[in-house]
A and B are shown apart, each in its own frame.
Chain A
Amino acid sequence: MRVSRVARAKSNRYIRIVKPRKSRARAVVSVALLLVLCAFPAFAQLTAQQKQLNLASFEAVWSAIHDKHWEEKPAGLDWQLIHQEYRPQVEAATSTDAARAVMRDMLGRLHQTHFAIFPAAVYQDLDPSGAGDGWPAFEAHVLNGHVIVTESLIPDSVKLGWEVLQINGSDLAPLVAKLQTDPAVHELQLERAVAARLSGPIEALRPMLFADAANARITRDIKLIPPRGNFAGFGNLPPQPVFFQSKMLGNTGYIRLNMFLDLVRVMTEFGDAVQKCAHCDGLIIDLRGNPGGIGGMAMGMAGWLVNRQGLRLGTMYMRGATLNFAINPRAEAYAGPVAVLVDGSSASTSEIFAGGLKDLGRARIFGTRTAAAALPSVITRLPNGDGFQYAVANYISEGGQALEGHGVIPDVEVSLTREALLAGHDSVVDAALDWIRKQKESK
């Protein structure tokens, strides 16, 4: 819990939210140091201080794997020998880039995902400072390299399908292009970097430039408003806005949650929503953009959707413990068709939930492949300013598939498109509704 994939939390395991918007680690790195590091050309000789920082970074990376990898011999390797092999290479490195390359090579020996080092400059792009809780009353996602409005609570001002071109005078396209070309940056991290730029202090006014349906440029001064939902924390995790929505789409229930947090409230509302839907044609659970949270909530929610004892979503393997994600069926469990919507930003607990229900044959999955980030992982700042991500557990879905690095592949792959959004349609929801309708007709 734990660890942060959780925003700003340092060591949680069961909280698996992927990208910290602002880690505590960054606070301990002085801005001056970053400026100095960034000011040096890549080929410049390292100062003694920089060399020491790189060595300290190497030790931090090596120790994290040694102490926290779920296998005592990570990937079957003698990690002590790895230290002997790589430390001299870091000592001999003549630049931070070279030292980083050595550390990346060391991590590469694991042949496992979610072990990555982000250069300080990229890390800053991923983790912009100054973000606040305010949001612009619309959501935007990267579709085909463009930041497109996918939901708008201010349709008179900002419409579905518009492209967001600039925020505060800064073009988004270069940021998106830069992050998309870095193989270490996953879709989830890209989306969160974009979302961070859309956010800011509540009440702040953000000038934004859009392209409308005809690609005409439109400027709007968007006032950032308080986020949807209730703020909820978890242990060391600072409060996060947790949004839960339940509504009917015709005779189909629709549930959406942005995080698996605020456990008591969300579990209660989820149970209430399922019970109200006892006679629905189907149930849609929308986990798009949901980066995860408390792993146990996936088990609890699944309990409202299965009526057989002895089932589980999967198994998590950690150092010293193996945990089954067992499902306790509720007496009032829903028995009708269930569609789960996912995308590349659905991570961790979302993947455990969607992947497990898919493996059990209990839900049909719609959308795009998930983030493949099912493991609790940490993103910390290294002494040299780079970002370091490492996983601390392995998770195998009930079907025998490791979600990490693979993700959940939808039964029905369908993406949002700008054209459909401009026409007022969510093509993923439409596909799920169509399937539920056919299920009803086939009876």
Chain B
Amino acid sequence: MTRFERITLLTAFAAALASAPVSAQDQPKQDLPKQDLPKAETILDRFVEVTGGKAAYQKHTHEKMTGTILVPEVGMTGNLVRYSAAPDKEYSSLQLGPLGKAESGFSGGVAWEKNAITGPRVKNGDEKAQAQREALFNAQADWRKVFAKVETIGSETVNGEDCYKVQVTPTLGKSETQFYSKKSGLLLKTATTAVSPMGEIPVEVEVSDYKTFDGVLVATHSKSKMGPQHLEITITDMSFDQPIEAELFELPAEIKALADKAAK
């Protein structure tokens, strides 16, 4: 799961509040005979290599990402910050215009979110599995730990660029489809399903503007379509292994109370 997917899924609820139906866009299909397609393992490994190599990924233990978000249909803008740390800690905060602050995280086996509408909430089931997968640090480099099955299922163009279409089935959460450039090996698009109490929302994320941060090539712009809603996210800064406050990943008091109550 890409950083953008994580952010996009984080915003699923907020964005759904401001969703705007649009026509579904058909993808041009140019499927090749399966025997002519490279193995999915090769495609995923190539991505790791072209974005810096496994060693570059593995030298980091935590990261901070900041960015901006735009919901074009409604003219809403916001800021986001996401912290993640090995092996599977994550905290995100999104400030999206009049929707206020929305926080989410995964720590100590608890997936949670908190926003002005629903208040504090602990995630369960598929939603928790999704959050747990999103929290895995360096998931892209360690994809073999994340995906139980990977398969190249065809070819397709993404914004005019020929891509291999790879279906990945994670050990936790729902399967997704990833589109890797035949030319550059970079991931250009993902298609998955966001799970929330509001239902399962199809999500397509197109990524671009790859830039290098401390040896790792990272896409810094995305355009997402979540059901009827569009989102644009731009990463403005990314840093690795800078000091962060340990309590950042601690569960908020009201979340801890809910988790303790559920555990009884």
Contact residues of A with B, CB < 8 Å? 1-3, 9, 11-15, 67-68, 70, 232-237, 261-264, 267-268, 271, 294-297, 299-300, 303, 312, 315, 318-326, 328, 330-331, 392-393
Contacts and interface: CB of A to CB of B under 8 A. Distances in A.
A11 B71 CA distance: 12
A295 B202 contact: no
Specify the main secondary structure of chain A where it touches its partner. mixed
A326 B258 CA distance: 18
Contacts of A296: 13, 16-17, 117
A300 B198 CA distance: 12
Interface centre among B75, B117, B257, B258 (most CB of A within 10 A): B117
Closest 7 CB pairs of A and B: A321-B227, A235-B74, A300-B117, A326-B197, A264-B100, A296-B17, A236-B75
B74 A234 contact: yes
A318 B19 CA distance: 10
A264 B98 CA distance: 7
Given A1-B74, A235-B75, 19 more contacts: A1-B18, A2-B73, A3-B20, A12-B20, A12-B73, A13-B19, A13-B20, A234-B18, A235-B98, A264-B100, A267-B117, A299-B117, A303-B119, A320-B22, A323-B19, A323-B227, A328-B119, A328-B121, A328-B197
A261 B100 CA distance: 12
A312 B199 CA distance: 11
Contact of B199 (A264, A299, A319, A324): A324
B22 A321 contact: no
B119 A2 contact: no
Contacts of A68: 21-23
Contacts of B98: 232-235, 261-264
27 contacts: A2-B19, A2-B20, A2-B73, A3-B20, A11-B74, A13-B19, A13-B21, A67-B22, A232-B98, A234-B98, A235-B97, A263-B98, A263-B116, A267-B116, A267-B117, A297-B117, A303-B118, A312-B197, A318-B228, A321-B201, A321-B202, A321-B226, A321-B228, A322-B199, A323-B227, A324-B197, A328-B118
B257 to A, nearest CB: 7
A1 B229 CA distance: 10
Given A263-B99, A297-B117, A321 B76 contact: no
B69 to A, nearest CB: 12
Contacts of A232: 98
A319 B228 contact: yes
Given A15-B18, A70-B21, A320-B227, A299 B74 contact: no
A235 B76 contact: yes
Count class of interface residues, chain B:
35 or more
Contact of A300 (B16, B20, B71, B118): B118
Interface in B183-202: 197-199, 201-202
Interface centre among B24, B75, B100, B254 (most CB of A within 10 A): B75
Contacts of B258: 331
A330 B119 contact: yes
B116 A67 contact: no
A124 B258 CA distance: 53
Contact of A235 (B18, B117, B226): B18
Contacts of A321: 16, 19, 21, 199, 201-202, 226-229
Contacts of B121: 328
A319 B24 CA distance: 8
A295 B198 CA distance: 12
Contacts of A267: 116-117
Nearest to B76: A235
Contact of B198 (A15, A235, A236, A323): A323
Contact of A14 (B16, B97, B118): B16
A218 B73 CA distance: 49
Contacts of B73: 1-2, 11-13, 235
A322 B198 CA distance: 8
Nearest to A300: B117
B119 A14 contact: no
B27 to A, nearest CB: 14
B119 A319 contact: no
Interface string B112-136: 0000111101000000000000000
Contacts of A328: 118-119, 121, 197
